[in-house]
Structure 1
Amino acid sequence: MRRSVPVEAGGAGEFVAMSLSSFAEALRSGHWPTLAGAWLHLTVSFMVWLLFGALAVSIGDALHLTPAQQGMLVALPLLSGAILRIVAGWSCDWFGAKRTGLLVLGLELIAILWAALGGTSYEELLGIALLLGAGGASFAVAMPVAGRAYPPAHQGLVLGLVASGNIGTVLVLLLAPQWESAWGWHGACGMLALPVTMVFGLFAFVVREAERAGSSAGGAWWHAAWGMMHVRSVSWLCLVYGITFGGFVGLTSFLPVLLHEHYGSDPIVAGAMAALCGFVGSLIRPVGGAVADRWGGVPVLAGVFVVLALITALTGSLPALPWALGLLVLTIAVMGFGNGVIFQIVSEWFPNEIGLASGLVGAAGGIGGFLVPIGFGLLREGTGTFVFGFAGLAVASVIAAMTVSPVLRWGPPGVVSSPNAGGFSR
């Protein structure tokens, strides 16, 4: 529902001061160390999740891979991460988010060490890529950890803040190519073992497990997930998040390959440009959540998809590099803003089942992310250009914009907790 906006009586300075005061008050309303722990968990996990995306050019050169093979290597962690998000979301509701979060970090460490010590063939790298998907499961852990530490009034802001941990995409895209130039791509993978180990200790120490009341996620995770997938509101959220987050993570992870193949950028420069795009997209996500808190998520989302369709179509013209970089930054920024809006809606509509709901919606985002690099790679090989990849994103955005009007007529879903996910009325 649309929310009323108070009229500001003072000038810009007074408005900024009031905004900062409101922000500080929002942080004090919950347990900020838990919020920090959730943010760190997501940040380092995103570094693991997109590790092969950051090193795709170097690995491709070493193993003489085609763009389609590189796309597969980039995409597989996104696919396995999507599946693991559903399991992790159910596990958070049933076994506890803190325990689940520590398990996720442990799986990430195994994947990193395997990549550092092995990975001598393309087939082995595919196996490592699947295990790197554990980094994507962090999303279904960090969101409920942070959400349950704060009251409902600040969910959009808080979830937007913790989700800005996808800035880990920036760090890995910026740092991994430089590590590779110094120690090779195996050494670059090994370098991630230190931050993962450190976050494991911090997460175990600072995060406070909130009481889980009224969850409907009991029983086998696949039964709970299957029941919730039949909820109309969840299906719609999966669709739109598959486009915004799928586009964000898929395009950002594939950018080094795109920039290297089309513009001839070297891996370090391509990684830096991809990192810039990821940085802006991550930084703007809390803004999307805060705007949705004030104006209502569904109305804001309609404008997001209209703007995204226009900018993506312009980006697909593949202009000269300086213009292309600006358009890529804008494209991914709009996607990041939309990600914040969507999870404000998730927290508002499914407060008691946020673990499983965020796992399912996040999984759809991961599947979207899997399809983007696969699609870009295959279309590049089949047509000789990346134009059709951007055209596909623009068409998907138009379709998503057309779905918003019916959702406005539904209104918020009528949620009735029950022993299974079928208790949702929408």
Structure 2
Amino acid sequence: MNKSKGGLQLTVQTLSLVAGFMVWSIIAPLMPMISQDIKITSFQISIVLAIPVILGSVLRIPFGYLTNIIGAKWVFFSSFIILLFPIFLLSQAQSVNMLMLAGFFLGVGGAVFSVGVTSIPKYFPKDKVGLANGIYGMGNLGTAVSSFLAPPIAGAIGWQSTVRLYLIVMAVFAIVMFFLGDAKEPKVKIPLVAQTKDLLKDLRTYYLSFWYFITFGSFVAFGIFLPKYLVDHYELTTVDAGIRAGIFIAIATFLRPLGGIIGDKIDAVKALKVDFLFMIIGAIILGIANDIILFTVGCLTVSVCAGIGNGLVFKLVPQYFQKEAGVANGIVSMMGGLGGFFPPLVITYVTSITGTSHLAFIFLALFGVLALVTMWHLSKKNRSLAYK
């Protein structure tokens, strides 16, 4: 294995993921300003915020598969060129329908996640894959970049001009990938249908997908709804809310490699059990929080657990599915993305019925308990197989 090539590709692809996630998440931090110019209801806002997650999740399966066929270089490059169109459309949006249309195709920025988790393991030995995928996963920081920078920039030049700046970002990274991407990346050509059938027969596919649905889903959902939620419920300024949301995202992102390292050193499933136990505690705190301090404690707890959990799950994917890694990465990461689609809608719906969002966070705790049951079942199954 060429360590220098692996290091270069890990760096280039991680930075490319940062760019992709910056675009994928651009609407959320700007929504308080967008809603001042475009007449939009609370429920429509939840739809607009959630809609980029749809394409960003579903495309992860074909993107992971395509990466094995043509290489990460060309999947990333093509994605950045395609993203120029919805970015421009968003900057021109004057109606809810235009916001939804632009947001839907911005999902391509989230779909590129499965490119790197499929490509990067090819450059590293098995005992380093967890760490390498964890470092690549730090590209999620792109969400925090948008949360931190977009509101103050928009305050100075307007949200439309802020969105247009992202055209430059995409053009730059398309050029970077064109010249620095690895055109000689090892290709894996296994029929998609055959791979998918094998994966769908394996219980571990469903368990990993469910765990990532919760960990990465929490990461995405909190990044989406926190800016508007903090403004509406705690009367924070848009900049303050953006910074707080950015801190949540940054913590989860920076701790992702730690999850990978832990998974390289000890049984990742055992580590996930502890991780989910603390996530349940964090969700319960959010479910009873009535002040910003307690809410912050709950958010930070969930952030830490989501970050470590993300790294642990993607240590397990290549460990369990070596030959089908591309499609497995796509399926699991798709479910993680979809995990970010539903919570904003649930929070809006629950709040409209009960007058508070507390019950929505209790649902997160219940999902965590169910995940612990599946982890116990998988551990029991693995032990029984070991004795045979």
Compute the TM-score of the two structures, normalised by the length of structure 2: 0.94
The corresponding residue for 1:195 is 169
Distance 2:136 2:222 in 1: 21
The corresponding residue for 1:170 is 144
Runs (4 or more) in structure 1 with deviation over 6 Å come to none
The corresponding residue for 1:72 is 47
Deviations, residues 300-348 of structure 1 (Å, cap 9, x unaligned):
1111111111111112222322332232122112111100000000121
Q: Give the one of 374, 377, 380 matched to 2:345.
A: 374
Deviations, residues 23-79 of structure 1 (Å, cap 9, x unaligned):
xxx994762110001101111111111111121222223223222211111111011
Q: Give the one of 353, 362, 380 matched to 1:391.
A: 362
Distance 1:230 1:51 in 2: 37
The corresponding residue for 1:237 is 208
Residues 192 and 252 from structure 1, CA distance in 2 versus in 1: closer, same or farther, beyond 3 angstroms? same
Alignment of 1:299-378 (within 5 A): 299-378=270-349
The answer as to 2:59 corresponding to 1:84 is yes
Gaps of 5+ in 1: 1-25, 415-426
- Conserved? CA contact 1:38–1:145, under 8 Å: no
- Conserved? CA contact 1:41–1:142, under 8 Å: no
The corresponding residue for 1:3 is none
Distance 1:252 1:318 in 2: 19
Q: Mean Cα displacement is larger for which, 402-411 or 276-285? A: 402-411
The corresponding residue for 1:45 is 20
Which amino acid letter does the alignment assign opposite residue 30 of structure 2? Answer: L
Residues 212 and 409 from structure 1, CA distance in 2 versus in 1: closer, same or farther, beyond 3 angstroms? farther
Q: Give, in angstroms, the shift of residue 94 of structure 1.
A: 2.4
Distance 1:31 1:95 in 2: 18
The corresponding residue for 1:63 is 38
Distance 2:41 2:194 in 1: 40
Which amino acid letter does the alignment assign opposite residue 156 of structure 1? Answer: G
- Conserved? CA contact 1:82–1:137, under 8 Å: yes
The answer as to 2:108 corresponding to 1:137 is no
Q: Give, in angstroms, the shift of residue 266 of structure 1.
A: 1.6
Deviations, residues 329-368 of structure 1 (Å, cap 9, x unaligned):
2211211110000000012112232221111101001111
Q: Give the one of 243, 246, 252 matched to 1:272.
A: 243
Distance 1:53 1:27 in 2: 40
- Conserved? CA contact 2:64–2:114, under 8 Å: yes
Q: Give, in angstroms, the shift of residue 106 of structure 1.
A: 1.6
The corresponding residue for 2:156 is 182
- Conserved? CA contact 2:285–2:295, under 8 Å: no
The corresponding residue for 1:418 is none
Residues 287 and 369 from structure 1, CA distance in 2 versus in 1: closer, same or farther, beyond 3 angstroms? same
Which amino acid letter does the alignment assign opposite residue 261 of structure 2? Answer: A
Q: Give, in angstroms, the shift of residue 251 of structure 1.
A: 1.4
The corresponding residue for 1:421 is none
- Conserved? CA contact 2:17–2:113, under 8 Å: yes
Which amino acid letter does the alignment assign opposite residue 15 of structure 2? Answer: L
The corresponding residue for 1:4 is none
Distance 1:407 1:27 in 2: 36
Secondary structure in structure 1 of the residue aligned to 2:339: helix
Distance 1:27 1:309 in 2: 42
Distance 1:190 1:392 in 2: 38
Q: Mean Cα displacement is larger for which, 321-330 or 368-377? A: 321-330
Compute the TM-score of the two structures, normalised by the length of structure 1: 0.86
Q: Give, in angstroms, the shift of residue 226 of structure 1.
A: 5.4
Q: Give the one of 47, 63, 80 matched to 1:105.
A: 80
Which amino acid letter does the alignment assign opposite residue 92 of structure 1? Answer: T
- Conserved? CA contact 1:30–1:150, under 8 Å: no
Distance 1:276 1:397 in 2: 23
Secondary structure in structure 2 of the residue aligned to 1:55: helix
Percent sequence identity over aligned pairs: 26
Distance 1:144 1:158 in 2: 11
Q: Give, in angstroms, the shift of residue 193 of structure 1.
A: 1.4
Secondary structure in structure 2 of the residue aligned to 1:273: helix
Secondary structure in structure 2 of the residue aligned to 1:369: coil
Gaps of 5+ in 2: none
Which amino acid letter does the alignment assign opposite residue 325 of structure 1? Answer: T
Secondary structure in structure 2 of the residue aligned to 1:319: coil
Q: Give the one of 372, 380, 385 matched to 1:401.
A: 372
Residues 225 and 190 from structure 1, CA distance in 2 versus in 1: closer, same or farther, beyond 3 angstroms? farther
Alignment of 1:142-157 (within 5 A): 142-157=116-131
Distance 2:38 2:378 in 1: 48
Distance 2:24 2:197 in 1: 26
Distance 2:287 2:334 in 1: 26
The answer as to 2:179 corresponding to 1:205 is yes
The structure whose residues are more often helix, as a share, is 2
